[in-house]
Structure 1
Amino acid sequence: MIGRRAGTNRVGMRRDDSLLTRFVDSVFYFFRLAEFEILFVLFIVIAYVIFKDLTARPDYNRMLVEKPGGFDVWPF
């Protein structure tokens, strides 16, 4: 009875639950199952957006592209 009230330990979906309740329960179940992977992907996406924003500025772009004087093994 406690599992039913708290929404945990549900082995199977009950047929008398509404479609919306079953959908929300399945979404929460998926999030609990894949919580680490979802947070890891969000971290990578946020880090990419921040890095892309930093490298899009002209002063950072110039620093990454231009080489200081001297001989370079890979001239371009």
Structure 2
Amino acid sequence: MRQQRGGVGAGRRGDDPGLLTRAVDRVFRFVRLAEFEIFFVLFFLIAFFLFKDLMSRPEYNQLFVKKPDLDDPWP
């Protein structure tokens, strides 16, 4: 009788996941581990860009640069 090629250990086993599957699993594991930190950084990035856009408008910038009127009766 002729022997079949690829006995035990030849090629990839059926229960061994591929390289792409292992990489995706590691990414998901990292995201689950660092979920709070990721949301924390994203919150501050979004807030920074939102307020940066708001404060770059000239009408908002005048509030910070305008000097108070010296004839004003209030101290």
Alignment of 1:42 with 2:37, yes or no, is: no
- Shift in Å at residue 67 of structure 1? 2.5
Structure 2 Cα separation of the partners of residues 47 and 65 of structure 1:
23
The AA in structure 2 aligned to 1:38 is I
Alignment of 1:26 with 2:17, yes or no, is: no
Query: What is the TM-score normalised by the length of structure 2?
Result: 0.70
Larger C-alpha radius of gyration, 1 or 2? 2
Query: What is the TM-score normalised by the length of structure 1?
Result: 0.69
Which protein, 1 or 2, shows the higher relative CO under an 8 Å CA cutoff with sep ≥ 6?
Answer: 1
The AA in structure 1 aligned to 2:52 is K
State how many pairs are aligned.
Answer: 56
Alpha carbon RMSD of aligned pairs, Å? 1.3
Identity among equivalent positions (%) equals 61
Runs of 4+ in 1 over 2 A off after TM superposition: none
Kindly provide the CA deviation profile for residues 20-59 of structure 1, in whole angstroms up to 9, marking residues without a partner as x.
0000000000000000000000000000001100000000
Structure 2 unaligned segments of length 5 or more: list them: 1-14, 71-75
Alignment of 1:62 with 2:34, yes or no, is: no
User: Which structure carries more helix by proportion?
Assistant: 1
Structure 1 Cα separation of the partners of residues 62 and 42 of structure 2:
29
